[in-house]
Amino acid sequence: MVVTLSNKSANQHGRATSQDGHNTVSLVTADTQSHINVWRARLFQFLKVEKKLLKMRRLRKITAVVNIVTMASLLFSIYTSPTLSPSVFIGLNIVLCTGLILYPVWHLLSKDCHRIRDELSSRFYASNHELDFAEDKISLIDRASYDVITFISVSDINLGRQAS
């Protein structure tokens, strides 16, 4: 749905005003190809950010598990008599230090992806649309009429089809 202003003069806020000062706005539905392509591009952008967010969360969890296992083996080696060779002990310390450096990086990147995804989601909500994740596809639904505007396949990001 595209909001068009009538050919009256526009005030400083972008609202059309008639001669007597009343605001007039007309709503026109536009199902043009370019309009659908804009929505598809936004869906692709949302899907890309969602996949990146999942990747960052996965990396953060893997780093946390590696840190815990490395720390446990180092503490166990220190608690008992030295059972690890010096090269293995130094290697575990390097892995632990790397993990301790990378964990905050993954956390900050996942927060950034989460923020971007929320911004995109709020744009869909502000334009009276919602996303539906079902049956291996993301569908864009107009909340006013519950019509599917377009959808894209989740399994293959390069495929995107119009709703028929």
Q: How far apart are CA 143 and CA 35, in angstroms?
A: 17
Contact (CB, 8 A) for 153 and 160:
yes
Distance, in Å, from the CA atom of 129 to the CA atom of 145, rounded to the nearest integer, reads 10
What's residue 7's pLDDT?
Answer: 41
User: Consecutive 10-residue runs of the chain (164 residues): their mean pLDDT?
Assistant: 41 45 47 76 89 93 96 88 83 94 95 93 87 83 84 64 42
User: Coil, strand, or helix at residue 87?
Assistant: helix
**Distance between CA atoms of residues 152 and 41, nearest Å:** 10
Return the structure tokens found at 34.
């370019």
Looking at residue 24, its pLDDT comes to 46
**Rounded to 5°, angle at Cα 22 from 21 and 25:** 130
pLDDT for the residue 31: 55
What pLDDT score does 160 carry? 46
Q: How far is CA 90 from the centre of its chain?
A: 39
Spatial distance between the Cα atoms of 118 and 100, rounded to a whole number of angstroms: 28
The two three-digit tokens of residue 39, written as one number: 């929505």
> Residue ranges of the domains in the chain?
1-30, 39-162
